[in-house]
Amino acid sequence: MKRAISILALAVGLATPALSDTMATGDLGLIIERAKGSVILVDQSDRAALARIEGLGDLSHASVVYSSDERYAYVFGRDGGLTKVDIVTRTIANRVIQAGNSIGGAISDDGELVAVSNYEPGGVKVFDAVTLELVADIPTGSKTIGLVDAPGRKFVFTMWDTGETWIADMNGAEPAITKIPDMGKNPYDALITANGRTYITGLFGEDGLTALDLWDETPEPIRVLPNYGRGQEDMPVYKMPHLEGWAHTGADFVLPAVGHHEVLWIDATTLEETGRTQTHGQPVFAMARPDGRQVWVNFAHPLNDTIQVIDTVSKEIIHEFKPGPAVLHMEFTPRGHEIWVSVRDEGKVKIYDTQTFELLREIEADSPSGIFFTARAHRTGL
Amino acid sequence: MRSLLALLVLAGAAQAGDAPPKMAPDPVALERLVVQDCGSCHGLTLKGGLGPDIRPQALEYYEPDVLQTVILDGMPGTAMPPWRPLITEAEAAWISEYLLKGEAP
């Protein structure tokens, strides 16, 4: 007991500088500086950059998940690096190179496991969230995409090459894998709804999407909008779209069409098409504001200087503007009153009011890409 | 579509300072295109992603004109798109040289 107390005393002693200047993390976030291998710690309510943390490797296509206490950020880098950033001390707490080439990650609902999906070698690796020690290695023999966390200490992910989706149940000593074949040709990304029920993967190799009802005992592929581009010429795709947990607008899902200048609306219950909205270019992200009233869309190269805002009731575009060259990502504040937009080639992140569309603040950043607020910690699939 | 490249060229020229806008391949604009836009599939360091490794050692068995054709017309059946709508043949030639050498030709 005495020993425990002395350890506690030591911990408190070390933490004293932080305690004297208490660091609340609930409105913080990280901006990826993709070329520099650094992240900027930002305060969302103050619209301010607080610090730059360096040494995270190749961060092209990097993404972030947060520990459930919103203290630690797990940054998944393209070079296979998994970096645990302590946003209270503003330092790198731990870093491992876990593969040659990775694409994304997820954290389990209990916060204990961090999973990373890899292109090379293809598969998923699962790490202890505290120590970053390897817990499980799940080779898939394919580039692995669309990795999400699902309720019940599970991860779900999909194979670009083989068109299978696997559900990994992490409750036992070894992962228990359920394989679902025939999801479609070349799935490129996937999302899970915030309630953890519906998993949707978008297809590159054919028109359409494929859904799974994860509440089903034995989920079967459900074809969604097969042949949605019928009669239209496919255009070259210069940037793969992304599917994110922000697709749910309430009544509908809104999803980017691959190789077409439109977003697709699907009834969230029946998965039947409810409409299409013609857009400025090929959508990359179609993200619903957290209240579901608006959808903000950015576009692929070479039309990537523009954002369009769609009203989800009328499904019509209500606002269009040009934040600047190479708009890569957008992140809403947790209740959606503001949005942060990364403008890579201008070296800025721009903050807008989502009601008035007024530009509120600009933050300097080096080739900014992803923006991730800590409130994601409490959402399934983000 | 072409206007974007003109803009890129203009932006590159503006960065270089004194060089007037021109239609010949602009190294600054093209290098950015390779790193940022090719990099979105092939990785910023070009070591591969959804698309394959396109660093010099991975490409050494390719003739420059073959690479140029792949860049301009894409690879049917894969995610590699044709870039012909966005760049000129001279620019594609510059990019294939750049990829083979790993630096500006």
pLDDT in tens, A88-123: 999 999 999 987 788 889 999 999 999 999 988 899
pLDDT digits (tens, 9 = 90+) for A261-302: 999 999 999 999 999 999 999 999 999 999 999 999 999 999
Q: Are residues A222 and A254 in the same domain?
A: no
> Which of B4, B10, B44, B75 is most worth mutating to test chain A (most A CB atoms within 10 A of its CB)?
B44
Q: Which of A186, A237, A344 sits opposite B81 (nearest CB)?
A: A237
Q: Which of B4, B44, B48 sits opposite A34 (nearest CB)?
A: B44
Q: What is the pLDDT of residue A5?
A: 47
Q: Which of B5, B7, B43 sits opposite A78 (nearest CB)?
A: B43
Residue A44: how many CA atoms within 13 Å on its side-chain side?
Answer: 25
Q: Are residues A175 and A103 in the same domain?
A: yes
Query: In this complex, do B43 and A103 lie within 8 Å of one another by their Cβ atoms?
Result: no
Residue appearing with tokens 């989920």: A219
Q: Are residues A168 and A248 in the same domain?
A: no
Cα–Cα distance measured from residue B60 to residue B35, given in angstroms and rounded to the nearest whole number: 19
Cα–Cα distance measured from residue A108 to residue A115, given in angstroms and rounded to the nearest whole number: 8
Q: What is the pLDDT of residue B23?
A: 63
Q: Give the confidence band of A45 by pLDDT, cuts at 50, 70, 90.
A: very high
Closest CA of chain A from B43, distance in Å? 6
Is A282 inside a domain boundary?
yes
Mean pLDDT of A162-174: 97
- Domain housing B35: 2-17+25-101
Q: Are residues A181 and A302 in the same domain?
A: no
Query: In this complex, do A61 and B79 lie within 8 Å of one another by their Cβ atoms?
Result: no
Tokens of A139: 């080779």
Which chain B positions have a beta carbon within 8 Å of A103's beta carbon?
Answer: 49-50
Q: Are residues A216 and A288 in the same domain?
A: no
Q: Is B18 exposed, middle or buried (0-12, 13-18, 19+ CB in 10 A)?
A: exposed
**Final residue before a domain boundary, out of A190, A214, A232:** A232
Per-residue pLDDT for A307 more than 50? yes
Q: Are residues A222 and A286 in the same domain?
A: no
Q: Are residues A275 and A253 in the same domain?
A: yes
Q: What is the pLDDT of residue B11?
A: 41
Is A263 inside a domain boundary?
yes
CB A327 within 8 A of CB A343: yes
Closest CA of chain B from A265, distance in Å? 25
**Final residue before a domain boundary, out of A211, A232, A253:** A232
Closest CA of chain A from B10, distance in Å? 13
Percent of chain A clearing pLDDT 90 (strictly above): 81
**Final residue before a domain boundary, out of A322, A337, A366:** A322
Closest CA to A219 of A257, A256, A172, A178: A178
- Stated pTM of the model: 0.88
Which chain B positions have a beta carbon within 8 Å of A78's beta carbon?
Answer: 43-44, 49
**Total domains in the fold of chain B:** 1
Contacts 24+ apart (CB under 8 A), A357-360: A357/A309, A357/A319, A357/A321, A360/A47
CB B68 within 8 A of CB B3: no
pLDDT digits (tens, 9 = 90+) for A14-28: 444 445 578 899 999
Q: What is the pLDDT of residue A246?
A: 82
Query: In this complex, do B79 and A103 lie within 8 Å of one another by their Cβ atoms?
Result: no
Q: What is the CATH number of the domain that holds A259?
A: 2.40.10.480
Q: What is the CATH number of the domain that holds B82?
A: 1.10.760.10
Which chain B positions have a beta carbon within 8 Å of A240's beta carbon?
Answer: 40-41, 50, 79
Query: In this complex, do B43 and A120 lie within 8 Å of one another by their Cβ atoms?
Result: no
Is A331 inside a domain boundary?
no
| Dihedral sign for Cα atoms in the order A162, A117, A245, A168 | positive
Query: In this complex, do B11 and A325 lie within 8 Å of one another by their Cβ atoms?
Result: yes
The DSSP bridge partners found for residue A158 are: A145, A165
Q: Which of B1, B35, B49 sits opposite A119 (nearest CB)?
A: B49
CB A65 within 8 A of CB A79: no
Q: Which of B7, B44, B86 sits opposite A58 (nearest CB)?
A: B44
Q: Are residues A223 and A148 in the same domain?
A: yes
Query: Within a 10 A sphere around the Cβ of A117, how many other Cβ atoms?
Result: 27
Arithmetic mean of pLDDT over chain A: 92
Q: Are residues A173 and A139 in the same domain?
A: yes
Cα–Cα distance measured from residue A147 to residue A218, given in angstroms and rounded to the nearest whole number: 19
pLDDT digits (tens, 9 = 90+) for A223-250: 999 988 877 777 899 999 999 878 899 8
- Domain housing A290: 240-322
| Dihedral sign for Cα atoms in the order A88, A90, A95, A101 | positive
Dihedral angle of Cα B21, B23, B28, B29, to the nearest 10 degrees: 100
Cα–Cα distance measured from residue A84 to residue A89, given in angstroms and rounded to the nearest whole number: 12
List C-alpha distances in Å: A49 to A41, A83, A231. 6, 20, 48
Tens of each residue's pLDDT in chain B, 105 residues: 444 444 444 443 344 444 444 467 889 999 989 988 898 889 888 988 889 999 999 999 999 999 999 999 999 889 999 999 999 999 999 999 999 998 887
Q: What is the CATH number of the domain that holds A220?
A: 2.130.10.10
Is A341 inside a domain boundary?
no
Q: Is B105 exposed, middle or buried (0-12, 13-18, 19+ CB in 10 A)?
A: middle
Q: Are residues A216 and A255 in the same domain?
A: no
pLDDT digits (tens, 9 = 90+) for A202-230: 999 998 999 999 999 999 999 999 988 87
The DSSP bridge partners found for residue A373 are: A29
Query: In this complex, do B4 and A302 lie within 8 Å of one another by their Cβ atoms?
Result: yes
Q: Which of B1, B36, B45 sits opposite A58 (nearest CB)?
A: B45
**Total domains in the fold of chain A:** 2
Starting from the edge strand earliest in sequence, which strands make up the sheet with A144-150, in order? A144-150, A154-159, A165-169, A176-180
> Which of B10, B15, B28, B36 is most worth mutating to test chain A (most A CB atoms within 10 A of its CB)?
B36
